Structure 1
Amino acid sequence: MEESLEYYDKALKINPDNKFALNNKGYTLILLEKYEESIPLLNKAISVDKKFSYSYNNRGLAKIKLNLCEEGRKDIEDSLKLDSQNADAYKNLGIYHMKKMEYQEAMDLFLKAKKMDGSLTGIDTLINKLKLKMEVNHTLDT
């Protein structure tokens, strides 16, 4: 991932307004758990193209990871308004609901995302993690 950051930097030196390089570098920073660093890049990608749904989605995930949950949810919903077929956005909206302990909503979104894209990165892990949380919650309730 560190090497990919170098390539994004090279692309941005050639064209500082390359929305794909901005978005992908921002997403790579999210994967590296550098959420604060990702947001300015995603902001710039959005300023370059207000209809670039991926950057809204990625910025939403970064905000959720920073506990700016409602701002993050809004970004993901804005992303889905622009592209309702983005399985990753449904996954990230599920992460929002999981963080809010709204487990059934999260599961519904994870399953929708998986149905849309069975190879979606991390979806099986999230579903399994959520199943465990739901089982623990059910056990505590009984």
Structure 2
Amino acid sequence: MTRQTQFTLRPRSRGFHLITDEVVRNLPPLPEAGLLHLFIQHTSAGLSVNENADPDVQQDLAAIFDRLVRERESYYAHTLEGDDDMPAHAKSTLTGVSLTLPIVGGRLGLGIWQGIYLCEFRNRASGRRIVATVIG
């Protein structure tokens, strides 16, 4: 059995945001065992799995990424869409745009300290579109 749904996450500002609950609310009923594949249909945001307990992790990740890929570098050619646009594309490449998660016992098989993150790299973005494919 394969099921697919598409949904839009609520808009968020730049940063790393836990979206596990929002994703789960938008999924069809999950099988006892299988896989969930999530794909974000954007080139300036990403998806990741990381710690879901301490919000300092989200703040630290944002600081790390902003140091790794800085705005207004003189060598950027793609600059017409704002100072945050080209860095957002580069950061999206670093995080990736998809996740594959196990489904165990009818639930996502995340570890106790794991959550799904929207990695939003634009200062202001509209809702981000997700394609969710459930296989099982």
TM-score, length of structure 1 as denominator length: 0.26
Looking at both structures, which has the greater relative contact order when contacts are Cα pairs under 8 Å and sequence separation is at least 6?
2
User: Greater helix percent: which structure?
Assistant: 1
